[in-house]
Amino acid sequence: MRQIVLDTETTGIDPAEGHRIIEIGCVEVMERQLTGRHYHVYINPDREVEEEAISVHGITNEFLADKPRFAEVAEEFFEFIKGAELVIHNAAFDVGFMDAEFARLKPVRKVADHCGVLDTLAIARRKHPGQKNNLDALCKRYGVDNSNRELHGALLDAEILADVFLLLTGGQTALSLDAGSDGEEGVQSIRRLPADRPPLAVVRASDDELAAHEAFLDTVEKAAGEVLWRSST
């Protein structure tokens, strides 16, 4: 399955009030491995960015003045995400903004008509009810390094969310179950292996080892009357 971990930054909270996307960051995941492919763009929203939003992501009106409009990047962005499952934290927010942007263009497109959508916030709330489940809290819980995240940024947040998503959906991630000071389970930090690493060697039993194993099963069978390993499935 091709998955795109995605995040956006915006001029404000509500697209119904005319707020726009100003940054899109995406990283590609195939078979639960980051491929190294990504999509990243800043966008001129043709409106002012609210001061409260700037305090979150640090993207100023001056910085965006010479950036392309959404209409100029829409087709390239759509081709990158088309047919993939989008992995988004609080998906309703980002999808709502993307739908509002595509609604201004022809042809009008709705994200859910062309992509699957997986909300990691919903997954985290089911898995950790009653706990904080924002991205920073999940980074702490799963040992993901977010030390460079002084401000929000779409590409950085997408990369961090990709690590969190793989841990959140990958079962047990560490043997340590010691509770931290805030009651969270202790988890060892993630260490990503290179995608081009050599495959692990497959070591098969020798003929002598197989014969010894069969002899041991004979002994077990005489004592117990039945050996599960020899039972038909």
What are the residue numbers of the active site?
A: 152
Please tell me whether residue 30 adopts helix, strand or coil conformation: strand
Quote the crossing angle between the two packed helices 120-127 and 91-103, to the nearest 10°: 170
Please tell me whether residue 94 adopts helix, strand or coil conformation: helix
Query: Which residue from 41, 96, 48, 93 is spatially nearest to 71, judged by alpha carbons?
Result: 41
Between CA 131 and CA 182 the distance in angstroms is 10
**Burial environment of residue 96 by CB neighbours within 10 A (0 to 12, 13 to 18, 19 or more):** middle
Q: How many Cα atoms occupy the beta-carbon half-sphere of 109 within 13 Å?
A: 20
Beta bridge partners of 88: 119
Q: Tokens 């950036």 label which residue?
A: 67
